[in-house]
């Protein structure tokens, strides 16, 4: 009878250790997954924001074409506004990264 109790104690000890290890592994995976999802969300927000800006630029270009007709200058203005916004966005990001320090 004592042998059966000893075996059950060993079984429960091994099972407890196994459950703890599996739980720790699942927790580590969930932490990494949360980080990945945060990065995906920030990328999604960035794409959405840039898409809105491009949409606005195209709307502005359409209005200019309707008002003045097609001119090569309109394309250069559109391109320059796109580059200007991109530079401003890079400056904002660099200042945001520097602030927490």
Structure confidence at residue 58 (pLDDT): 85
- Among candidate residues 66, 84, 55, the one with its CA nearest the CA of residue 74: 66
Tell me the pLDDT of the chain (101 aa) as tens digits.
677 777 788 889 999 999 999 999 999 999 999 999 999 999 999 999 999 988 988 888 788 777 776 666 667 777 777 788 777 777 776 776 665 54
3-state helix, strand, coil in the chain (%, to 5): 95, 0, 5
Structure confidence at residue 101 (pLDDT): 46
Domains in the chain: boundaries: 2-98
Structure confidence at residue 19 (pLDDT): 97
Q: Which residue has the tokens 């060993």?
A: 10
- Among candidate residues 73, 82, 35, the one with its CA nearest the CA of residue 54: 82
Structure confidence at residue 99 (pLDDT): 57
Structure confidence at residue 61 (pLDDT): 78
Query: How many CB atoms sit inside 10 A of residue 74's CB?
Result: 18
């Amino acid at each position: 009878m004592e042998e059966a109790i000893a075996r059950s104690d060993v079984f429960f000890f091994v099972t407890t250790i196994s459950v703890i290890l599996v739980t720790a592994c699942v927790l580590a995976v969930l932490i990494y997954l949360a980080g990945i999802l945060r990065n995906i969300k920030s990328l999604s927000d960035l794409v959405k924001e840039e898409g809105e800006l491009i949409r606005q630029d195209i709307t502005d270009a359409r209005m200019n074409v309707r008002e003045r007709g097609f001119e090569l200058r309109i394309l250069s203005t559109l391109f320059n506004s796109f580059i200007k916004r991109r530079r401003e966005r890079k400056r904002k990001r660099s200042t945001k990264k520097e602030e927490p320090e």
